[in-house]
């Protein structure tokens, strides 16, 4: 495993396992499988309704807690200082742990300044090893980074071969904030797993499209957290540290960038109203 060092010195695995859309009933089994095949970083969220499954796996896996890196995220309905503070305690309880390695604000809506203050407090109390944000695009990211006390260690944003976040990445670099990808396969959209360029490059290295897509991201300095409920795919997605893409291959993949979201834009008024409807 390779690691990145966050802006507070904490080391984070460059590859982890994400559990968005993993059925709560299946989550414990999936995380146990992931840990067994070698993952040490697990990404969940209050909104995924499966923190308990992650917690059960943490307790049952047999790997010392300090070797694991657990991320969770505060949801919009828990925004604001008091609610966020209570929700952090709730997450700790569900995850059955004394501390969270990385705590993120899930979406940049509602009273996220209040949320962030509760997170800064939890950080100072040792309940959280690093704090950061998710889905904070340059406008809101720069604002928060300038008016908070602890600059976000991580910003988790949609990042894959079709949306490489070149501009957002430069902004994060300026603030020493680590970019982390959500949807490293774009959830298979745009026929990612059938992409001819990724297929041809992968074949040269004896690697699959999935492995090539992930390798491109980690070689670009992006932390990845691919999701799969299948143990064989979990292994496949982890097996990307024994090859390297050439500068020419990296350039070819850079050309796949459409610079657009394949999901939703946080600048679109309808999308913003849809997110905000969760807190009403
Ligand atoms: N912060 C946010 O707002 C946000 C948003 C979305 C996601 N996330 C995080 O990012 C993680 C990853 O993103 P994601 O789950 O949305 O999507 P993803 O990892 O881009 O794609 C997951 C999809 O790819 C399939 N897959 C996985 N490995 C494969 C392989 N080797 N070959 C073929 N198909 C494969 C999975 O199917 P099977 O499961 O059937 O194998 C699943 O359908 C999430 O789990 C979550 O932790 C965060």
108 lines ligand 1 (CB under 6 A): no
Q: How far is CA 212 from CA 17, 20, 182, 239, in A?
A: 17, 22, 16, 10
Measured CA to CA, the distance from residue 146 to residue 221 in angstroms comes to 24
CA of 216 to the centre of ligand 1 (A): 16
Each residue's pLDDT tens digit, 101-157:
999 999 999 999 999 999 999 999 999 999 999 999 999 999 999 999 999 999 999
Distance in angstroms (rounded) separating the CA atoms of residues 182 and 224: 7
pLDDT of 59-91, one tens digit each? 999 999 999 999 999 999 999 999 999 999 999
Look at residues 85, 76, 72 and name the one whose alpha carbon lies nearest to residue 108. 76
If one counts the domains in the chain, the total is: 1
Task: Tell me, using a 6 A CB cutoff, whether residue 228 lines ligand 1.
Answer: yes
Q: Whose CA is nearest to atom 8 of ligand 1?
A: 182
Q: What is the mean pLDDT of residues 28-37?
A: 98
> 20: Cβ below 6 Å to ligand 1?
yes
- Residue 106 is given by DSSP the state S
DSSP annotation of 48 reads G
Give the Cα separation of 52 and 207 in Å (integer): 34
Q: What is the DSSP letter of 9?
A: S
Please answer whether residues 15 and 218 qualify as being in contact, where contact means their C-beta atoms are separated by less than 8 angstroms.
Answer: yes
Nearest CA to ligand 1 atom 7: 182
Separation of alpha carbons 254 and 165, rounded Å: 11
**pTM beyond 0.95, yes or no:** yes
Residue of 17, 48, 116, 137 marked catalytic: 48
For residues 119 and 117, what is the distance between their CA atoms, to the nearest angstrom? 5
Q: Of the candidates 272, 261, 262, 229, which has an alpha carbon nearest to the alpha carbon of residue 20?
A: 229
d(CA 129, CA 124): 9
- Residue 189 Cβ inside 6 Å of ligand 1? The answer reads no
Active site residue 116: no
Task: Report, as an integer, the average pLDDT of 229-241.
Answer: 98
Domain that holds residue 13: 3-279
Query: Judging by DSSP bridges, how do beta strands 11-13 and 3-5 pair with one another?
Result: antiparallel
What would the mean pLDDT of 161-189 be, rounded to a whole number?
98
* Other Cβ atoms closer than 10 A to 86: 12
Residue nearest atom 24 of ligand 1, based on CA coordinates: 187
CATH number of 263's domain:
3.20.20.100
């Amino acid at each position: 495993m390779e690691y990145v060092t966050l802006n507070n010195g904490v080391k984070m695995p460059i590859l982890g396992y994400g559990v968005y859309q993993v059925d709560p009933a299946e989550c414990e089994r999936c995380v146990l499988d992931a840990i067994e095949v070698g993952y040490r970083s697990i990404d969940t969220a209050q909104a995924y309704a499966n923190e308990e499954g992650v917690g059960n796996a943490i307790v049952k896996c047999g790997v010392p807690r300090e070797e694991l890196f657990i991320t969770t995220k505060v949801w919009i309905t828990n925004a604001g200082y008091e609610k966020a503070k209570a929700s952090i305690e709730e997450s700790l309880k569900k995850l059955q742990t004394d501390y969270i390695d990385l705590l993120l604000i899930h979406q940049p809506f509602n009273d996220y300044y209040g949320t962030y203050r509760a997170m800064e407090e939890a950080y100072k109390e040792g309940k959280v090893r690093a704090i950061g944000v998710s889905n904070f695009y340059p406008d809101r990211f720069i604002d928060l980074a300038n008016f908070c006390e602890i600059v976000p260690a991580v910003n988790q944003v949609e990042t894959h071969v079709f949306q490489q976040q070149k501009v957002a990445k430069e902004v994060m670099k300026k603030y020493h904030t680590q970019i982390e990808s959500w949807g490293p396969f774009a959830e298979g959209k745009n026929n990612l797993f059938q992409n001819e360029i990724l297929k041809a490059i992968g074949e040269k290295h004896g690697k699959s499209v999935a492995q090539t897509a992930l390798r491109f991201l980690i070689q670009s300095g992006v932390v990845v957290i691919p999701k799969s409920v299948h143990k064989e795919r979990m292994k496949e997605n982890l097996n990307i540290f024994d090859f390297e893409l050439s500068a020419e291959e990296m350039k070819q993949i850079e050309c796949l960038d459409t610079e657009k979201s394949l999901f939703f834009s946080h600048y679109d008024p309808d999308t913003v109203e849809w997110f905000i409807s969760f807190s009403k």
